[in-house]
């Protein structure tokens, strides 16, 4: 499972021209679920994202977590994070979990963030979305639980 975190001051998702989710200060999380991922990966990655100290403290140093600042999260499914592009010019997505499994674990990740007390919004799973954001910093961090 991979989560691309972007520290944002604002983010929103549109589907078919309609806004389906919007947050202020917090994290925009692009989530890719891999084959073989399970509930434990979803919960541990959510805890890591919520507790990662990437927000500024009073001195401007990245010393605070999403939980500490009372920020929000917007979770967007993105299977393309699992793309392999070592050969040729067309990426393959063989490492991505099948949609039914990915959807279940996407919602498990989402629920884990909510369970930590984070106000969490969601994109629309398996939809073509337009994501708008104002990256704060910019700060963008890739979490990959397969590296741990």
Active-site annotation, residues: 78-80
Handedness of CA 64, 65, 71, 73 (dihedral sign): positive
CB atoms within 10 A of CB 39: 12
**Parallel, antiparallel, or unpaired for β 72-77 and 119-122?**
parallel
CB 23 within 8 A of CB 10: yes
């Amino acid at each position: 499972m991979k989560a691309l975190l972007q520290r944002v001051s604002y983010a929103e998702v549109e589907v078919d021209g309609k806004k389906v989710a919007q947050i202020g200060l917090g994290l925009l999380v692009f989530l890719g679920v891999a084959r073989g991922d399970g509930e434990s990966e979803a919960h541990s990655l959510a805890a890591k994202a919520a507790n990662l100290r990437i927000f500024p403290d009073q001195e401007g140093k990245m010393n605070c977590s999403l939980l500490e600042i009372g920020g929000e999260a917007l979770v967007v499914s993105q299977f393309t994070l699992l793309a392999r592009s070592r050969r040729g010019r067309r990426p393959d997505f063989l490492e991505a979990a099948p949609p039914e499994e990915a959807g279940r674990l996407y919602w498990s990740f989402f629920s884990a963030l909510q369970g930590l007390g984070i106000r969490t919004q969601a994109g629309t799973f398996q939809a073509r979305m337009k994501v708008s954001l104002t990256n704060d910093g910019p700060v963008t961090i890739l979490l990959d639980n397969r590296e741990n």
